[in-house]
Structure 1
Amino acid sequence: MTNISVEDITNDVAQHEPTTNWKRYFSFSTDHKVIGIQYIVTAFILFLVGGIFAMVIRGELITPQSDLVDRSVYNALFTMHGTVMLFGWTFPILTGFANYLVPLMIGARDMAFPRLNAVAFWMIPIAAILLMASFFVPGGPAQAGWWSYPPVSLQNPTGNLINGEVIWLLAVAISGVSSIMGAINFVTTIVKMRAPGMTFFRMPIFVWNVFSAQIIQLFGLPVLTAGAVMLLLDLTAGTSFFDPTKEGDPVLFQHFFWFYSHPAVYVIILPVFGVFSEIFPVFARKPLFGYKIVAVSSLLIAGVSGIVWVHHLYVSGTSAWMRMFFMVTTMFVSVPTGIKVFAWTATIWGGKLRFDTPMLFAFGALILFVFAGITGITLSSVPIDVHVNNTYYVVGHFHYVLYGTVTMGMFAAIYFWFPKMTGRMYYEGLGKLHFWLTFIGTNLNFFPMHPLGLQGMLRRVSSYAPEYEFWNIVASVGGFLLGVSTLPFILNMISSWMHDQQAPKNPWRAIGLEWIVSSPPPVENFEEIPVVVGEPYGYGKSEPLVAEH
Structure 2
Amino acid sequence: MADAAIHGHHGEDKQGWFTRWFMSTNHKDIGILYLCTAAVVGLISVLFTVYMRMELMYPGVQFMCAEGARLIPSSAECTPNGHLWNVMITYHGVLMMFFVVIPALFGGFGNYFMPLQIGAPDMAFPRLNNLSYWLFVTGVALGVCSMFAPGGDGQSGSGVGWVLYPPLSTHEAGMSMDLAIFAVHVSGASSILGAINMITTFLNMRAPGMTLFKVPLFSWSIFVTAWLILLSLPVLAGAITMLLTDR
Q: TM-score range by the shorter chain?
A: 0.7 to 0.9
Shift of 1:17: 4.7
Distance 1:155 1:177 in 2: 26
How many percent of aligned residue pairs carry the same amino acid? 41
1:231-250 alignment, distance < 5 Å = 231-235=243-247
Label 1:173 to 1:81 Cα distance change in 2 as closer, same or farther (>3 A): same
* Residue in structure 2 matching 1:172, options 184, 204, 213: 184
Q: Superposed, which structure 2 residues align to 1:444-455 within 5 Å?
A: none
Mapped pair 1:74 → 2:74: no
Alignment-derived partner of residue 12 in structure 2: 18
**Contact in 2 for aligned 1:16/1:30 (Cα 8 Å):** no
1:143 aligns with 2:155: no
Quick one: higher RCO (CA 8 Å, sep 6+), 1 or 2? 2
**Aligned length in residues:** 217
Q: Distance in 1 between matches of 2:84 and 2:21?
A: 33
Write out aligned runs for 1:50-89 (5 A). Answer: 50-69=45-64, 70-89=81-100
2:136 to 107, 124, 134: 124
1:315-354 correspondence to structure 2 within 5 Å: none
How many angstroms apart in 2 are the aligned matches of 1:54 and 1:218? Answer: 30
Which contiguous aligned blocks of 4+ residues in structure 1 show a shift greater than 6 angstroms?
Answer: none
Give matches, 1:266-285, under 5 Å.
none
- After superposition, give the CA deviation of every residue in 1:489-532 in whole Å (9 maximum; x if it has no partner): xxxxxxxxxxxxxxxxxxxxxxxxxxxxxxxxxxxxxxxxxxxx
Q: State the TM-score, normalizing by the size of structure 1.
A: 0.38
SS of equivalent to 2:185? helix
Describe the SS at the equivalent of 2:121: coil
Matches of 1:179 and 1:135, distance apart in 2: 22
Deviations 1:25-72 (A, max 9, x none): 531211111100000000001111111111111111112323311211
Q: Distance in 1 between matches of 2:159 and 2:11?
A: 43
Structure 2 runs not aligned, ≥5 long = 1-8, 65-80
Residue number among 84, 108, 118 corresponding to 1:106 in the alignment: 118
- What amino acid is aligned across from residue 18 of structure 1 in structure 2? E
Q: Distance in 2 between matches of 1:99 and 1:16?
A: 19
Kindly provide the CA deviation profile for residues 293-346 of structure 1, in whole angstroms up to 9, marking residues without a partner as x: xxxxxxxxxxxxxxxxxxxxxxxxxxxxxxxxxxxxxxxxxxxxxxxxxxxxxx
- What residue number does 2:210 align with? 198
Rounded to whole Å, the distance in 2 between the matches of 1:137 and 1:209 is 38
Tell me the TM-score normalised to structure 2 length.
0.84
Gaps of 5+ in 1: 1-14, 236-549
Which structure has the larger Rg?
1
* Separation (CA, whole Å) in 2 of partners of 1:16 and 1:74: 51
